[in-house]
Amino acid sequence: MSFDGFRPATFDWFAGLEADNSRDWFGAHREAYDHEVRGPLTALLEELAGDAPVWVARPNRDLRFAKDRSRPYKDRCYGTIDGRLYAQISAAGLFAGTGAYRMDAGQLTRFRDAVVDETSGGALESIVGALDAGGLDVWGESLKTAPRGYPRDHPRVALLRHKLLIAGASAPPDAARGLSRDACVEHLRDTWTACAPLLAWLDEHVGEGAEAGAKG
């Protein structure tokens, strides 16, 4: 299918799921999910991906270790281009972002060493400051204090505490019109372009994890 935007029906679907997150409801509204949610998101990513691979997550939550099993379906639909550029559609609208979604032990060590280094750490601080000034959000799961072996009073301790680092922005839907094709394409492109310096910094100073390297 071609991408023509997210219609109000997309957000009506999410409202229905919020009210009744059950297998019976999802089964009865599976066609709307395919045509109004997953289908358009997949088409949008494929249009922007060129030759890069596109991946879209399944709607089912992994309940094997979940404390709450009463909601078997995710309240968002998300995917990536080349495993790096992330997009998500939900009741809140269209989110675009990128960054280090998870870092293994080796990546975390490289990240932290780069943060405390005056040159690379200063560069990351400037990138994060520019993203914040441009209206993007930068966040990630953080430790309560500096990791072991690093100074608690380091001037970049807020960055040093991160276990992952993500930047992005959301485009909310219009209640009557949803999100138009042009608005979605522009939002993804503009956000990913703004985040490019962060992604380049991570590529240079953190690199791929051991699992990715093993896959070669």
* CB 14, CB 90: distance < 8 Å: yes
Evaluated on CA atoms 3, 8, 13, 17, the torsion sign reads positive
pLDDT band for position 71 (cuts 50, 70, 90): confident
pLDDT band for position 212 (cuts 50, 70, 90): low
Question: What pLDDT shows up at residue 210?
Answer: 75
Level-2 CATH architecture, domain 92-216: 2-Layer Sandwich (3.30)
The residues with which 85 forms a beta bridge, in sequence order, are 81
pLDDT band for position 61 (cuts 50, 70, 90): confident
Share of the chain above pLDDT 70, in %: 95
Burial 8-30 (b: 16+ CB within 10 A, else e): eebbebbeebeeebeeeebeebe
Ordered DSSP codes for 159-194:
HHTBSSEEEEEEEPPBTTTBEEHHHHHHHHHHHHHH
- Which pTM does this prediction carry? 0.91
SS (H, E, C) 2-66: CCCEECHHHHHHHHHHHHCCCHHHHHHCHHHHHHHHHHHHHHHHHHHHCCCCEEECCCECCCCCC
**In the chain, domain spans:** 1-77, 92-216
Question: What pLDDT shows up at residue 211?
Answer: 65
Length of the chain: 216
pLDDT in tens, 28-51: 999 999 999 999 999 999 999 999
Question: What pLDDT shows up at residue 146?
Answer: 94
pLDDT band for position 213 (cuts 50, 70, 90): very low
| Token pair in block for residue 188 | 């993804």
